[in-house]
Amino acid sequence: MKRRNIIKAVGAAAIVGTLSACKPQEQNCKQQAGEQKLHKWKMVTAWPKNFPALGTGANFLAETINQMSGGRISITVYGGGELVPPLEVFDAVSNGTAQMGHAASYYWKGKTPEAQFFGAVPFGMNAQEMNAWLYHGGGLDLWTELYQQFNLVPFPVGQTGVQMGGWFNKEINSKEDLKGLVMRIPGLGGEVLKRAGGSPKILPGSELFTSLQTGNIDATEWVGPYNDLAFGLYQAAKYYYYPGWHEPTACLEGIINKTAYDDLEEDLQQIVKIACVAANQNMLSDFTAKNKTALDTLINQHKVELRKYPDDVIEELKGHAQAVFDELGEKSAMGKKIYKSYKAFAEQTRSWLDISENAYFKAR
DSSP labels for 15-48?
HHHHHHTS-TT-TTHHHHHTTPPPEEEEEEESS-
> In percent, how much of the chain has pLDDT > 70?
91
Residue 60 has pLDDT above 60, yes or no: yes
What is the rounded average pLDDT of the residues 318-333? 94
Q: Note the pLDDT of residue 275.
A: 98
Residue 17 has pLDDT above 50, yes or no: no
Residue 15 has pLDDT above 60, yes or no: no
pLDDT tens for each residue of 212-250: 999 999 999 999 999 999 999 999 999 999 999 999 999
What is the rounded average pLDDT of the residues 4-27? 42
Residue 78 has pLDDT above 80, yes or no: yes
321 band by pLDDT with thresholds 50, 70 and 90: very high
Of 187, 208, 203, give the one whose Cα is nearest residue 119: 187
Q: Note the pLDDT of residue 34.
A: 54
pLDDT tens for each residue of 113-162: 999 999 999 999 999 999 999 999 999 999 999 999 999 999 999 999 99
Distance CA 152, CA 264 (A): 14
Q: Containing H/E element for 201?
A: strand 199-201
Q: Which domains does the chain have, with CATH numbers?
A: 166-247+295-330 (3.40.190.10)
36 band by pLDDT with thresholds 50, 70 and 90: confident
Q: Note the pLDDT of residue 231.
A: 92
pLDDT tens for each residue of 160-180: 999 999 999 999 999 999 999
Residue 22 has pLDDT above 60, yes or no: no
Distance CA 117, CA 280 (A): 17
Residue 79 has pLDDT above 90, yes or no: yes
What is the rounded average pLDDT of the residues 73-95? 97
Which amino acid does the sequence have at 189?
Answer: G
Greater confidence (327 vs 26) lies with: 327
31 band by pLDDT with thresholds 50, 70 and 90: very low
What is the rounded average pLDDT of the residues 29-47? 78
Pairing of strands 100-104, 305-308: unpaired
Helix residue spans in the chain (DSSP H): 2-20, 29-33, 54-68, 89-94, 127-136, 139-147, 187-195, 208-214, 225-231, 258-262, 266-300, 311-328, 333-355, 357-363
Q: Note the pLDDT of residue 5.
A: 52
Q: Note the pLDDT of residue 161.
A: 97
Distance of alpha carbon 247 from the chain centroid: 11
Distance CA 240, CA 57 (A): 25
Q: Note the pLDDT of residue 18.
A: 40
Cα-Cα-Cα-Cα dihedral sign, residues 176, 177, 182, 188: negative
